[in-house]
Amino acid sequence: AGSGVRVKADVPLSEMFGYIGSLRTMTSGRGQFSMEFAHYTACPNSVADKVIAEEKERQAAKAAK
């Protein structure tokens, strides 16, 4: 008989990029996952500050051209 583990978790979308590769490695290619949108929530200040700084750099580079 097959054995398995099901994990249900709320995870930020940004953490899911590349997850399938890690999951397949951990499960010898047998792991699967699915995602569905749950809700919006405020991001941590450190993440917001990083996004804002990156956008300011993009805008400055665009203006310099």
Are 20 and 33 within 8 A, CB to CB?
yes
Are 9 and 23 within 8 A, CB to CB?
no
Number of H helices, E strands in the chain: 2, 0
10-24 average pLDDT score: 91
pTM of the model: 0.56
19-42 average pLDDT score: 92
42-49 average pLDDT score: 92
Instruction: State the pLDDT confidence band at 2, using cuts at 50, 70 and 90.
Output: low
47-61 average pLDDT score: 95
**What is the structure's pLDDT at 61?**
92
